[in-house]
Amino acid sequence: MGHGHRPHRHAEIRHAGPARLLQRRCALARPLRFPPARHADPVRRAEPNLTSVANGRCRCGAVSFELTAEPHFTSYCHCEDCRRATGAPGVAFVGVHDSEIVWRGEPSGRYGEPPVTRFFCDTCGSPIGYRDARLDGRTYFYTAVLETPDRFAPTVHAFYPERIVWLDLHDDLPRHDRTTIDR
């Protein structure tokens, strides 16, 4: 009488979560090369680090990091690429030198077209940030992955003409037509 239960023909994708779907779609992405990891020792992990400027992590905590110096750059970005990569109407990010990052679980998920490579947590799918090959030795984290994002307010708007028109932030920050960093 009943039709019985027929699994969805894409059940393995439907139940794999966003990280698995991105991993399948981006299987051909070039490997993301991070500098050699500077992992903290187990004792230091158990105690608060007094030299830490900020900590960040993905939603599930599998990817986490510590910033050991103030970011050299904070910005809003309104470009279509950032919006699509995060699913947000605009993105705020902080830029740091690679030598100022202590990884406690590095992101293994990656995608993007050269020269920009975006990375995410392969477990929960959270977008973490990006690297631009033209800006050697720097990593840009989405501000929202930081434990204290309020401390790092953006100082400029990049790609302002590409913004979604209903997202109009009423601030006095400089608005740039393109990127704010020489590449």
Specify the number of domains making up the chain: 1
Establish if 7 belongs to a structural domain: no
Establish if 85 belongs to a structural domain: yes
Establish if 128 belongs to a structural domain: yes
In this prediction, residue 28 carries a pLDDT of 45
Which is nearest to 180 in space by CA: 100, 77, 30, 109?
77
Residue range 129-160, pLDDT digits in tens: 999 998 889 999 999 999 999 999 999 999 99
CATH code for the domain of 125: 2.170.150.70
Establish if 124 belongs to a structural domain: yes
Establish if 29 belongs to a structural domain: no
In this prediction, residue 4 carries a pLDDT of 53
Establish if 10 belongs to a structural domain: no
**E-only strand ranges, the chain:** 54-57, 64-67, 73-77, 91-97, 101-105, 109-111, 116-120, 127-132, 138-142, 157-158
152-153-158-161 Cα dihedral, nearest 10 degrees: 150
Establish if 19 belongs to a structural domain: no
Domain that residue 70 falls in: 35-162
Please give the structure tokens belonging to residue 151: 């401390």
Establish if 182 belongs to a structural domain: no
Residue range 81-100, pLDDT digits in tens: 999 999 999 999 999 999 99
